[in-house]
Amino acid sequence: MLTRSAQANWQSLGYNPLMIHAQKFFHLVLLMTALSPLRAQEENPPAKHPRDERSEREARKVIEAYFPLFSKRDGKGLLAVVNFPHIRVTGSRTVIIPSAKEWSGDPTPLEDYWHHSALDSLTFVQSDGGKAHALVVFSRYKSDGKRYISYPTLWIVTKVNDHWGIQVRSTFAP
């Protein structure tokens, strides 16, 4: 803090002492803000996303098998490629199927003109020995073979009791 005589001297020169302190404080905050990402990186290095090739191969098999079964509306066949509790998260609701006993087929609502769905692309984001996170893009088709919509989704495939299955599907599809 400035003494009264120093304040008077600064004011006689047209400076406001409070403004000088505010400017110094602002510069200090600005400097700290600019340096904080560097400090955060030193203290908290970015997370490394684990990858497990074997898990991704198993998860790929399950995801690729899902679409033909889904398109045939083969509820029993789908049991081979899902794990429970099975969870489907959409923009408006979450459906949880606790066990195979409650499974009556895939809970996805479909348009009247839907004929089949197909996998467009599959990219694994991270995986370990018991789980794989995948970006799944699929499309829906009419009976004339024309694609009418595509959806990017996030799926989680898990290994439960030595069985690989789709456990969570998050989508903005209805």
One-character DSSP codes across the chain = ---HHHHHHHHHTT--HHHHHHHHHHHHHHHHHHHHHHHHHHHSPPPPPP--HHHHHHHHHHHHHHHHHHHTT-HHHHGGGEEEEEEEE-SS-EEEE-SGGG--S------TT--EEEEEEEEEEEEETTEEEEEEEEEEE-TTS-EEEEEEEEEEEEEETTEEEEEEEE-S--
**Pair 32, 62 in one domain:** no
pTM above 0.75, yes or no: no
Question: What is the rounded average pLDDT of the residues 8-24?
Answer: 51
Structural domain span for residue 13: 4-43
Average pLDDT, the chain: 83
Total domain count for the chain?
A: 2
Q: Which region among 24-28, 34-38, 107-111, 169-173 has the lowest average model confidence (pLDDT)?
A: 24-28
Residue of higher predicted confidence among 45 and 107: 107
**Pair 9, 61 in one domain:** no
**Pair 114, 161 in one domain:** yes
**Pair 27, 98 in one domain:** no
In a domain, 48, yes or no: no
57-74: pLDDT as tens digits? 999 999 999 999 999 999
